[in-house]
A and B are shown apart, each in its own frame.
Chain A
Amino acid sequence: MMKQNIEPQLMKNGGTVDLSLVESLSYDDFSRCLLTEVETGGRVAAFFGVPGVGKNDDLELFALIARDRHATIAVYRTEVGTSFPSLTTSCPQLHLFEREIAEQYGVRPTDHPWLKPVRFHRVWQGKTDVWGRPLDQHPLPGDMEYYRVEGDGVHEVAVGPVHAGIIEPGHFRFQCYGEKVMHLEISLGYQHRGIEPMLLQGPHSSTMAQMETIAGDTTIGHGLAYCQVIEALSGCEVPARAQSIRAMGLELERLANHVGDIGALAGDVGFLPTASFCGRLRGDYLNLSAALCGSRFGRGLVRPGGVLFDLDATLESAVQTRIDEIESNTLGALNLFFDAPSVLSRLEGCGHVSLSVAEDLGLLGVAAKACGVPRDSRFFHPTGIYRKVFDELITEETGDVWARAHVRYREVIASIDLLRRIGKNLPSGPVKVPVGPLKANTLAVSLVEGWRGEVAHIGITDADGQLRRYKIVDPSFHNWSGLAMALRDEQISDFPLCNKSFSLSYCGYDL
C-alpha cells in the first residue's frame, strides 16, 4: 500500500533530528520518495546502512537528500532484509552507495547493473559475502570481474596500484582500440584503513586525528565536517571568531590545492614556468596554514567547540601582508598559463563530461561546476561566517580539462578575496567553548565545501549518546565515476591530464 504525501524530516546543514521522528518507510515508499526527490532537483548527499537495534536486527537504510535550492536536507529511512531492489538504473548516483552497502553488510541490491566490491574488506556484519568471498580471509584487492571489450585491435592496459609518480595507489583498466579509450574502469580500496568502524561507540580520544587524516590534503575540510557533527549532537554554539578562523583555514587549504593542481596541469602539458611557480606558491599557502596552527596541512587547527589557535594582532597583519605578496605572484603564474595558446590547445575539449552525465552521477565541487552544474555547499548550505561572506557561485560550461582548470583559477581569486575579507573583519571574543555530552538517539549532518567539493559527515547516536554509526562521504566518492566518463573516446595518452584535472582522493574514497 503506497502512502501519499510523505513529508520527510528536513534538516539544515549542521542540524540534528531526533531519530524517533524519522519515520521508517516501506522500501517501496522509500524508493519512490528518493526517485521523486532526485527528479525534482534533489541530490543524494549520503545513502548508507545502519545495523538495527532492539527487537529485530534488520539493516536500516538512511538516505540524506540535499535540496540545494531550499537549503535543506531531507532524511528518509527504511528497513531491508537480506536484499533490496537496486535503484541504480533509475538513479545512477546511487550506484556506489548501493555497492558500499552490499560490501559492508552483506545485503544484496538485486539487479544492480555493476555490482562489484568497492574497497575489498571483509563484510562488517552479516553472514554472507555478496560476492561469495570466504569470510575467514581478507579479500584480495582488485579481485573482481572487470568490464572487457574484445575484438580485433582491442587491447587492455592495466595500471597500478603503484603508480609512476608520488601518488596514492589505485588500479586502472583501460579498454582501448588503438590509442582510443573505449572504457576506463577504476578499482580502488588499496588505501582502506577501516575508519568508519573505528568510530563506533565513539567519539574516542583518537578520533580527531583520524578525521584529520581521512584525506590529509583535506584536513580542514574533513576535520571541520566532523566537528560540526559533534557540535550539532552536543548543542554547542561555536564562537564567531572561531568560525572565521575555521573559514580562513578552509580557504587556505583550497588555495594551496588549487594552485598546486594548476601547477601540476602545467607540468603535465609541459608548460614549465607555471609548473615551477605554482609548486613554490602552493608551499607559500601551506606555510600560511603553518603560521596559523604549526602544521602545513592544518592539523590541530579545528577542534569540536572552536579552534585551538587564535591570531594576535601581529599574526593578523602578517597574514594579510603575506597574502598581498603571494597574490600578485599567484595571478602572474596563473595568467601566464591561461594566456598561452599552446596550453589552451591542450586543455580545450580534452576529457569532456556533459552536464547531464554530471547531474546523473551526482558529481560535486570543481568537477560539477566545470560542467555548469551549480554545486557549492558554502553557497547553498552555508554555516558559520559563510552565511555572511559567500555570494560567488562559480561555474563554467564546457566540462573539459580547461573548464576544471578555470574553475580553480576563478576560485583562487575568490578565495584570496574571501580570506582578506574574513581576516580583516575577525570578530572578537573566545575561540573555543567546551563541548557537552552528545544527545542520545539523534542524527546530525554536516556538509563542508572542501577544495574538491562537498564533504559530508553524518553521525547517529545510540541511547547512551555514543556513535552508533558514522558515515563519511568524500567528494571523490562521487567524482571518480566522472573521471571514467571523461576518458571515453579520449586518447589514453591524455589520461594523466584528465586525472590531474579531477585531482581526486584515493584515501578519501577508500576510508
Chain B
Amino acid sequence: MLDIISERFRQGFRTGKFPLEEPKLAPRFRGMPEFRGECPSGCKACEQLCPFGACGVREGKMALDLGRCLFCADCQACPEDRINFGNEYRLAVRNRQDLLFSGEEYPLAKPLEPARLKLLGRSLKLRQISAAGCNACEADCNVLGTLVFDLGRFGIQFVASPRHADGILVTGPVSENMRTAVLDTYEAVPGPKVVIVVGACAINGGPFIHSSETNQGLDSLLPVDLYIPGCTPQPYTILDGLLRLLGRREQRG
C-alpha cells in the first residue's frame, strides 16, 4: 500500500489544463492546411492526383475537402507543392460542406440548437461504434478517458449500452458487414440524440473510399451532427469538437 502511495507521488499530477491552456503538439503534427501562392490558371492536376479525391479547383481556387483528406505526410495532390499542413488542431465542423476548405474562413462547429443543448449540454453519454475502423481513431477516443484528458470532468462519458446513451460516435468507413449493426445501435438510442463521426473513414470512407465493401462513411446513412476530420484526428481535435458541440468552447475562437 505504501508503495502505491509513494509511486503515486512520484508519478505526479498529470491531468492537462485543457481547455484553459492550449495543448503543446508535436512540431511535425499535420493539422489545418495552408495554401502557398496561387493556383496556375487552368491547372486542375490535383483533381486526379489525390488518391482519395480530396482536392479540386473551385472558382479558380484550390479547395481541399477535409472530410476526405488524410493529411498525408507525402501529399501527392499538388504538383506545385502548394499544400502545407499547419499546426492548427481545431478542425471539427457541424456540416459536411463546411469541410470544403479553400484557404478562407473555416466554420468551426457551432453548439447544438437550444433544445438539445439544454438536455445534453452538461451531460453527454455516447455509445462508440467502430464500423471497420482501424483501431487508431478508436484508440484516440479511448485515450480521452485517461487522466491526461479526463473526459469525465466535462460531463462526457462513453457508455456500454445504446440505451444509456444520448448519441453515437462512429469511427470507420462503415463496412457492409457493420451497416445493420450501426443502424440498429442508432435506433436503440433514445431520442433526442446526436450523431458524431470521427476520422476520414467515418466521414467519407478515408483510405477505403473506393472499396465496394464499405459504405463510404456514415454520411449517407444517418444525419450527422458533428464531423471531426483527420486520419487519425488528434485527441485534442476530438475533444475540442465535442466541447464545441456542447457550447463549451464558443468564446475561445
Contacts and interface: CB of A to CB of B under 8 A. Distances in A.
Interface of A: 119-121, 138, 141, 161-162, 164-169, 189-195, 198, 204-206, 209-210, 212-217, 219, 260, 273, 276-277, 279-280, 282-283, 287, 290-297, 299-301, 303, 308-309, 329, 332-333, 336, 339, 505-507, 510
Closest 6 CB pairs of A and B: A300-B73, A216-B136, A216-B134, A279-B146, A294-B28, A206-B51
Given A216-B133, A299-B232, A206 B74 contact: no
A190 B206 CA distance: 17
Interface of B: 3-4, 7-8, 10-11, 14, 25-30, 49, 51-52, 70, 72-74, 76, 85, 128-143, 145-148, 158, 160-162, 172-173, 175-178, 181, 185, 201, 206-208, 210-214, 231-232, 234
A297 B232 contact: yes
Contacts of B210: 198, 206
Contact of A190 (B3, B181, B232): B181
Q: Identify which of A191, A194, A297 gathers the most chain B CB atoms within 10 Å of its CB.
A: A191
A210 B148 CA distance: 30
B30 to A, nearest CB: 5
B81 to A, nearest CB: 14
Contacts of B137: 216
A168 B146 contact: no
A283 B173 CA distance: 25
Contact of A336 (B4, B72, B146, B158): B4
A309 B160 CA distance: 40
B28 A293 contact: yes
B132 A193 contact: yes
Contact of B177 (A191, A210, A216, A291): A191
A269 to B, nearest CB: 14
Contact of B130 (A169, A213, A287): A169
A295 B31 CA distance: 10
Contacts of B138: 166-168, 216
A300 B74 contact: yes
Contacts of B185: 162
B147 A193 contact: no
A353 B51 CA distance: 44
A191 B175 contact: yes
A349 to B, nearest CB: 24
Residue among A192, A292, A293, A333 with max Cβ neighbours from chain B (10 Å)? A192
Contacts of B29: 290, 294-295
Nearest to A210: B207
A195 B132 CA distance: 12
Contacts of A209: 51-52, 70, 72, 206-207, 231
Contact of B11 (A189, A329, A507): A329
Contact of A299 (B146, B148, B201, B231): B231
Contact of A273 (B7, B28, B177, B214): B7
Given A162-B181, A169-B178, A283 B132 contact: no
B78 to A, nearest CB: 14
A296 B10 contact: no
A293 B135 contact: no
A165 B126 CA distance: 11
A219 B136 CA distance: 9
A161 B139 CA distance: 18
Contacts of A195: 208, 211
Given A165-B128, A280-B148, 4 more contacts: A209-B52, A277-B11, A279-B143, A297-B232
A214 B142 contact: no
A296 B11 contact: no
Nearest to A160: B181
Contacts of A215: 134-135
B128 A193 contact: no
Contacts of B175: 190-193, 510
A120 B7 contact: no
Contacts of A120: 177
A324 B3 CA distance: 22
Contacts of B130: 166-169, 191
A168 B133 contact: yes
B158 A166 contact: yes
A336 B28 contact: no
Nearest to A294: B28
A307 B189 CA distance: 45
Contacts of A329: 10-11
Contacts of B214: 193-194
B134 A507 contact: yes
Given A168-B135, A290-B26, A303-B74, A296 B140 contact: yes
A120 B27 CA distance: 43
A136 B238 CA distance: 40
Contact of A309 (B28, B85, B158): B28
A329 B11 CA distance: 6
Contacts of A301: 73
Contact of B132 (A138, A210, A507): A507
B102 to A, nearest CB: 23
Contacts of B211: 193-195, 198
Given A138-B176, A193-B214, A295 B161 contact: no
A308 to B, nearest CB: 5
Contacts of B128: 165-166
